Chain A
Amino acid sequence: MTLPLPLRKSAVYLLLCLMALFIVYPLLYTFLSVFMTPEETNQFPPKLLPSSLYLGSLEAVIDLIPVGRFILNSFLVSGLVMIGQLITASLAAYAFAFISFRGKAIWFAVFLSTMMIPWEVTMIPNFLLIKSWNWLDTYPGLVFPFLASAFGVFLLRQFYLQLPKELFEAAKMDGCGHLRYFANIVLPLSRPGLATLAVYVFLNTWNMYLWPLLITNTAEMRTVQIGVSMLQFEEFTAWNIVLSGVALVLLPSLLLIVLGLKQLVRGLTAGAVKG
């Protein structure tokens, strides 16, 4: 079935537009609802476009729940986990890439096998452990279990291994030790890799749901994801308030997508396209 070219082109565009509509419609709906008045959202048939730039629901959601606090919590937790993983992963990856030591293969296998343990399997003992340390409802409880990841180690190791070998030889000839080589040469040269890991980890932590749900009880410690889902549990008739909350939570991650798409793509495809 070979159609004439112009017809084929328009068929492709039509299909693309239909799929784009499916993808973008729920998001558009969310952001348009933010500017609708409560009456407009409860109308039937539903309105597609707000009639004015109404800001009342944004004000209402900020009054109703401590959105600012949720966003601060999420930024702190995501930022700390990101920094922590950058440190632990860049160090471990260096050991695997540049230092020869006995037991390297075994430790590498151990790191690899940790990727096979789904986090949900360990959540009960982790919860009991954090509870016994009195870390429920605290930042350390939200941050510490996620400070290391095998994925980060493999991603950065891959980056390190792509650095030219001669560099390492030359540095060694100059009497440059591992510490200096790591800090002055390897880290600056693998900035793209570090950026990839940073964007990936930040977004994943920002979007985390189950763990913060388990270990936070008070409103002051909730992250945005829990805060926003709590909005929906309370009996609201005004959806635009709930959707305004969702829009506020989505905004930082959408911004991150726009600014860091390249880094993110590299991180996501690290596993798929030969590593």
Chain B
Amino acid sequence: MNSSAQNAPAPAVTPASSYKAVRAKKRSLSRLKEPALAYLFLAPSILLFGLFLLYPLMRSLYLSLFLTDPRGHIAAYVGFDNFRQLLTSSSFWSSLAVTGKFALITVPGGLLLGLIMSALAHSRLKGMWIFQFIFSLPLALSVSTSAVIWMMLFHPTLGMFNYFLDLAGFPAVQWLTDPKWALLSISVMTIWMNSGFNFIVLLSGLQGIPEDMYDSAKVDGAGPVRTFVRIILPLLSPVVFFLTVVSLIGAFQAFGQMHILTKGGPAGSTEVLVYSIYKEAFVNYQFGTGSAMAIVLFVLIMILTLIQFTLVEKKVHYQ
């Protein structure tokens, strides 16, 4: 309605040319205002990123070169001593090793479980929606609720796991207090906690693969397992790759399950990197060395992200 009025020829009183000029002027005015408007729209985000992300990152770098008093004030400049100290400390290397082991169990384990769950639940059998719903349920879990539930399941005398072991005729296992088992127990709990996310991402990846891919494989007489490994898996590789990197980064950020279940013990066997940072900064009040550890974490995750960006274009099969 509005447009018909504007598109109508200009009244004879005003020459067409001047009308055009007015419009052009108006337009250039609004165009001048455009960048200002853009920055106005970006301003809240930029301000918040600067204040709570970029400035703290710089501040972390800065703090990592100093020793601090327990209130967080700078006490002495020590240069790279914090880093030198870290690299010669066996507990730091041990926490790196624990983090690596944790990632090596949870990332492939979670992927495998997710692949099997999504492949089966994607079949065209009856009642699949029930399984799809059940497999999505862990999305609701938080690290603290999951950890508390599994604390009960892991209980040495009254827990369900030892009860089942007992039924099957095996001796009881000290799930969380035996250094041989603690990290594995936490990893299994973590795989369970993350299974919803892995399932959803892989299932939607599978749903994106055209039906005729399956049909043509069937015509060739390939069995379901071979079809999946030979044809579907390569097509799914971008999604699998995305999930690998995201879970790896997630594994490097793990904290809550260790804090609730084991406090990093027994004998440091579950003390991951973020737990070490937490302990150094918020238990021992060493904000300087804590920041140095945080910088190491940053570099490690940066490397993982860069690998994602460079490899994703080359190695991965896109449709």
Contact = CB atoms under 8 A, between A and B. Distances in A.
Decide whether A and B are members of one complex.
yes
Interface of A: 1-2, 8-9, 12-13, 15-16, 19-20, 22-24, 26-27, 29-30, 33, 41-42, 44-46, 87-89, 91-92, 94-95, 99-102, 104, 107, 110-111, 114, 116-129, 131, 144-148, 150, 153, 170, 173-175, 177-179, 203, 206-210, 213-214, 225-226, 228-229, 231-232, 239, 242-243, 246, 249-250, 253-254, 256-257, 261, 264-265, 268-269, 271-274
B208 to A, nearest CB: 6
B52 interface: yes
Contacts, number: 276
A122 B224 CA distance: 47
B52 A243 contact: no
Nearest to A89: B45
B243 A272 contact: yes
A226 B144 contact: yes
A174 B6 contact: yes
Nearest to B2: A174
B192 A23 contact: yes
A92 B45 contact: yes
Interface stretch (B80-88, B173-181, B193-201): B193-201
B239 A273 contact: yes
Interface in B117-142: 117, 120-121, 123, 125, 131, 133-142
B205 interface: yes
Interface residues of B, number: 98
B158 A42 contact: yes
Given A101-B34, A118-B253, A203-B139, 12 more contacts: A26-B146, A94-B41, A95-B37, A95-B42, A123-B294, A174-B2, A203-B140, A209-B256, A225-B144, A232-B148, A269-B200, A274-B238
Contact of A126 (B44, B52, B153): B52
Contacts of B287: 124, 128
Interface stretch (B13-21, B89-97, B100-108, B296-304): B296-304
